[in-house]
């Protein structure tokens, strides 16, 4: 892309750039060299967020294991999905040749969507951990002894199902970015198929 074309795009989508640069800076697709550098920083950010997501999942799984809570397998599956997605982001390859201004605008749109999506993912995983942490005993009708609240376990399984869908959506959005950037389509398509199959499994 020529610098003049980037100027037009960046002026038109200045609000997107401002929001993206809260997390990835500088954000600049004005030349091939800067595009490569920006792409690297964007994907490094995604990988960092996914690494943090895996850490939150590990803490939740460990807590659930220690408390012998039901639904542990569901969160193990989520962690595997995140691992697959993270690995595919790491091995991406971008040529950055003859990218048209309208496609750069699309890349910016996708980058912002992925940034927002990973932030939302981390927020939900924090909620999941807090739910597991606050799991307490209650007294149920017809039960003389105190028991751990079974509704919390059911809620956590629903959380796991929702998180798997979130990860799948993020992976599909990255696939779209992949195609716009002329990345490795075949490998990412296979990743999406694996994640889609796993997300469709009964938890």
3-state secondary structure 113-148: HHHHHHHHHHHHHHHHHHHHHCCCEECCCCCCCCEE
Predicted pLDDT at 203? 45
101-120 as b/e, with b when 16 or more CB fall inside 10 Å?
bebbbbbbebbbbbbebbee
Question: For the chain, what is the radius of gyration of the CA atoms?
Answer: 20
Report the residue count for the chain: 203
Predicted pLDDT at 186? 46
Cis peptide before 29 (omega within 30 of 0): no
CA distance 172 to 168: 6
Predicted pLDDT at 183? 46
On whether the CB atoms of residues 35 and 1 are closer than 8 A, the answer is yes
Return per-residue pLDDT of the chain as tens, 203 residues.
Answer: 666 777 888 888 899 999 999 999 999 988 888 888 999 999 999 999 999 999 999 999 998 888 888 888 899 999 999 999 999 899 887 777 666 777 888 899 999 999 999 999 999 999 999 888 877 654 445 555 545 566 777 888 888 999 999 999 999 999 888 888 764 444 555 566 666 676 666 44
Angstrom CA distances, 76 to 15, 25, 69, 161, 164, stand at 38, 34, 13, 12, 11
167-181 as b/e, with b when 16 or more CB fall inside 10 Å?
bbbbbeebbbbbebb
CB contact set of 24 (below 8 Å; sequence gap of 6+): 38, 41, 42, 45, 111, 115
Record the pTM: 0.79
The total number of structural domains in the chain stands at: 1
List the domain range (segments joined by +) for residue 67. 3-199
């Amino acid at each position: 892309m020529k610098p003049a074309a980037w100027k037009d795009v960046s002026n038109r989508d200045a609000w997107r750039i401002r929001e993206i640069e809260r997390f990835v800076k500088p954000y600049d697709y004005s030349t091939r060299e800067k595009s490569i550098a920006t792409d690297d920083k964007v994907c490094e950010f995604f990988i960092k967020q996914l690494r943090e997501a895996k850490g939150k999942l590990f803490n939740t799984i460990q807590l659930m294991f220690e408390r012998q809570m039901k639904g542990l397998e569901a969160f193990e599956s989520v962690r595997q999905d995140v691992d697959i997605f993270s690995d595919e982001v790491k091995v991406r390859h971008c040529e950055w040749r003859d990218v048209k201004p309208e496609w750069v605008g699309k890349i910016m749109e996708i980058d912002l969507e992925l940034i927002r999506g990973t932030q939302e993912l981390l927020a939900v995983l924090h909620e999941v951990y807090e739910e597991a942490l606050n799991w307490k005993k209650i007294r149920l009708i017809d039960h003389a002894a105190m028991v751990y609240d079974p509704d919390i376990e059911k809620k956590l399984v629903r959380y796991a199902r929702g998180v798997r869908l979130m990860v799948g959506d993020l992976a599909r959005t990255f696939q779209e970015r992949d195609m716009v950037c002329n990345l490795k389509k075949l490998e990412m398509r296979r990743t999406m198929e694996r994640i889609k199959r796993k997300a469709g499994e009964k938890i």
